[in-house]
Amino acid sequence: MTKTRVDKRQAILDAAFTVFARHGYARASVQEIADEAKAAKPTVYNHFGDKEALFRGAIAATADSVAADTLDAIEPLRDAGADVRATLRTAASRLLRICSGERSHALRSLAYAELAAFPELAVTMQERTSVHLTEALADRFARLALSGALRSCDPARAAEQFLALLIGPLESRSRLGTRAVPAAELEGMAESAVDTFVRAYGP
């Protein structure tokens, strides 16, 4: 596949997610998606075949994009050095900003809104985002435990608990995504989560 074709495909996926998030699956039209992508309608069908395939592709592509952002946020934990708390604090802050962002909220809302028609999409979204993140975070915590930066632990459980310390308060304070959480509040949530985690898992 040529770069031009790849770029066009990505533009269509981005446009499709925007339109599906705006209108929902049933009310979204392929023509509006084509217009949003600045592409001809036949070009959209040439890439994806039908509206359903386009919808599935848009959800998967957006989930992968969000996942890439979250994995980038925890990458510094591979080599946290002496200041594990500061590295955890930075990662926690970035994760909260990503999870509270408009794109993440739209992804969750769209997948759950279309659950009756596409029951597997919520699973797809979770596997590509939260499950992938938990596994990657467990790997980072295992490395930190081996280096002595964290106490010996079940890294998978530690990862689940770290994320729960972040996501639980976020969902509560955002009222399940219906309220924008101010940046200062997000920073406070990150600080509290890291304090609790380090008390439990610090060396």
Domain match, 82 and 13 both: no
Sequence-distant (≥ 6) Cβ neighbours of residue 113 within 8 angstroms: 24
CA distance 84 to 72: 17
| pLDDT band for position 192 (cuts 50, 70, 90) | very high
Q: Do 122 and 115 contact (CB within 8 A), yes or no?
A: yes
Give first-to-last CA distance, the chain, whole Å. Answer: 50
Tokens of 74: 């925890």
Domain match, 166 and 190 both: yes
pLDDT in tens, 123-165: 989 999 999 999 999 999 999 999 999 999 999 999 999 999 9
Cα distances (angstroms) measured from residue 121 to each of 88, 92, 102, 113, 134: 31, 27, 19, 10, 19
Range of the domain at 12: 1-49
Domain match, 45 and 60 both: no
Domain match, 115 and 167 both: yes
Report which of 122, 135, 136 is spatially closest to residue 60, judged by C-alpha positions.
Answer: 122
Q: Which amino acid is at 43?
A: T
pLDDT in tens, 31-62: 999 999 999 999 999 999 999 999 999 999 99
Q: Tally the C-alpha atoms within 13 A of residue 150's C-alpha that lie toward its C-beta.
A: 30
The pTM of the full predicted model, rounded to 2 decimals, is 0.91
Domain match, 109 and 191 both: yes
Total domains in the fold of the chain: 2
Domain match, 42 and 3 both: yes
Q: Which of 49, 67, 88 is the last residue of a domain?
A: 49
Q: Do 119 and 59 contact (CB within 8 A), yes or no?
A: no
Q: Which amino acid is at 154?
A: D
3-state SS string for 47-75: HHCCHHHHHHHHHHHHHHHHHHHHHHHHH
